[in-house]
Amino acid sequence: MTKPNPIRPDIPPEDHIFVDDVRKSFGSTKVLKGITLHLRRKETAVIIGGSGAGKTTLLRLLIGLEQPTTGHIWVDGEDMAYLDEVQMNKMRRKFGMVFQYAALLDSLTVLDNVAFPLHEHRASLGAKAIKEKVVSMLNLLGLENKENRMPSELSGGQRKRVGLARALMLEPEILIYDEPTSGLDPLTSRMVDDLIEETRSRFGITSVVISHDMASTFRIAHQAFLVVQGQVIAQGKPDELAHGDNEEARAFIEASGVNTDNVSRVTDKKKQNTAA
């Protein structure tokens, strides 16, 4: 039986994704307790929080792997909970996923890893066109002449770039990053931050980053959401969280050990370099 479509709320036009009072329970365990997020088009939103905050569950809801217990997730004005299988598959093509540890298949070359989504969904392109598309994307991301390498031959930062190249193959409108700087040294983390910003700017993508990395949040976020025990307790620009009235947000940021006064947005530094 088809569920009746909900009444569409008045969603601001700049919202690419509107998470509308979403709750998620597993049995008697309440994981998300009324999450509301306005994720704006062509911006980077970073969802931060400690272990057990509910970030992973929220991620699974955003990409349609789970359904809310109550509430709605509107993407381009469509409620994901009310799509049939065909509509949901079409919706999922709007999303690309960059996994925490790149999730590359170690038995495949870089070329075959990146080409995997095209073979699955655009096989009609043909082998030659697929290879050209893959090599072009690898070159754009600074991975020239790496297509025949195996994942084990790459550095951590290069593996992240290969994972990003694969996520971009189907030309998504939205990229979801799962802890993109986890396990990386500071220099590589900064490179990944630069890559996230460059990708957003170059491809006009909406970026949603699930993270616990406070320095990265201050470098890339247009808006940040602090999730604690399944609820958003603070939101706004990172500076607003660090210096605002919310004591929990200030304490969380201070506990990270990051001197936020010494961290500036990636784009700010580019502007400074241009001005120089």
Span 116-170, pLDDT tens digits:
988 888 878 889 999 999 999 999 888 999 999 999 999 888 888 898 899 998 8
The Cα 66–Cα 11 span in angstroms is 23
Compare 6 and 188 and report the one with higher pLDDT.
188
Kindly give, in sequence order, each residue whose CB lies less than 8 Å from that of residue 87, ignoring residues fewer than 6 positions away.
78
For 11-94+207-276, CATH gives 3.40.50.300
Per-residue model confidence (pLDDT) at position 5? 63
Q: Name residue 79's beta-bridge partners.
A: 74
Beta carbons of 208 and 225 less than 8 angstroms apart: no
* Residue for token pair 């993270």: 211
At 38 the pLDDT is 96
Give the model's pLDDT for residue 207. 96
* Token pair in block for residue 66: 């789970």
Can you read off the two tokens belonging to residue 15?
Answer: 């919202």
**What is the C-alpha separation between 222 and 207, in angstroms, rounded?**
10
pLDDT of residue 273: 43
Tell me what the pLDDT averaged over the chain comes to.
87
Question: What confidence tens digit (pLDDT) does each residue in 92-114 have?
Answer: 889 998 887 678 888 999 999 99
3 or 224: which carries more pLDDT confidence? Answer: 224
Q: Name the residue among 211, 130, 118, 222 with its Cα closest to residue 167.
A: 118
pLDDT for the residue 3: 58
CB 181 within 8 A of CB 213: yes
**Count of Cβ atoms closer than 10 Å to residue 92 Cβ:** 17
pLDDT above 60 (res 274)? no
Residue 176 is predicted with a pLDDT of 94
Q: Do you know the residue count of the chain? A: 276
Q: How confident is the model at residue 269 (pLDDT cuts 50, 70, 90)?
A: very low
Which residues of the chain form beta strands (DSSP E)?
A: 15-26, 29-40, 44-48, 70-75, 78-79, 95-98, 174-178, 206-211, 223-228, 231-236
State the pLDDT at residue 185: 82
Q: Count CA within 13 A, CB hemisphere, residue 90.
A: 8
pLDDT in tens, 24-76: 999 999 999 999 999 999 999 999 988 888 999 999 999 888 899 999 999 99
Residue 268 pLDDT:
46
With 0-12 CB in 10 A as exposed, 13-18 as middle and 19+ as buried, what is 205? buried
How far apart, in whole angstroms, are the C-alpha atoms of residue 156 and residue 104? 12
